[in-house]
Amino acid sequence: MRQLRCWCMCAGLIGVIGLATWDGAYQAAAFQAAGSKPGGIRACSLFTQDEIKKFYGAKWEPVWDQIRITPQESPLSGGGSECEMMGLAIQMDAVPVARYEANRQAYMARSKFERVTNVGDEAWFYEQGAGTSVYIIGIYARSGQHVYVLSVSVRMGETAASLRPVVIAAGQAAAAKLR
């Protein structure tokens, strides 16, 4: 009985850790495709925490000012890299520019896309998983020779509309840096 209780507690802890890890990986891996080449700009170097704070504006949680976690960058299997900073998932060069539209088309069945202007050479606001426990919104864009995805989770009490300005502002800032 004691072994069973210990196993259940360990399994529960692993489940919580796994869920936290899975959620971040799901966001960042949303648009990864094979055939990519690593880009010259790494995901974790795209923004500072202070820049991300500006994107969030009034939605920035004051407690986040106390948190200074060094972001961990991960390579993507198709090239490029991904990083999560203060709730903003960043993915750089997961697909080559030549596959930009084909990759977006591949995700049309499970994501809702809406073209946006004033963000890079071409950009789409997307929603993925609406009505599920993992609801993600973001910007899928290309600027110069780079393709990038910037996304956030829509948490309880938030809406895609309320978070849209966050990802649009991040998309515009990324485009300016990538030109």
Cα gap 139→122, rounded to integer Å: 10
SS3 120: coil
Among residues of the chain, what percentage have pLDDT more than 90? 55
Work out the mean pLDDT of the chain and round it to a whole number.
80
| Average pLDDT of the segment spanning 111-128 | 96
At 141, phi and psi to the nearest 5? -145, 165
Does the structure show a pLDDT above 80 at 40? no
**Residues spanned by the domain of 32:** 2-178
Q: Is the pLDDT of residue 175 over 50?
A: yes
pLDDT in tens, 136-145: 999 999 999 9
CA dihedral over 13, 49, 153, 26, signed as positive or negative:
negative
- Residue type, position 179, single letter: R
Q: Which two tokens stand for residue 15?
A: 């489940």
More confident: 168 or 19: 168
- The single-letter DSSP state of residue 157 is T
For residue 8, the Cα-to-chain-centroid distance in whole angstroms is 32
Number of domains in the chain: 1
Task: Give residue 27's pLDDT band: very low, low, confident or very high (50, 70, 90).
Answer: very low
Most confident of 43-52, 80-89, 129-138, 165-174: 165-174
pLDDT at position 96 over 50: yes
pLDDT higher than threshold 70 for residue 29: no
Helix (H) or strand (E) holding 83: strand 81-85
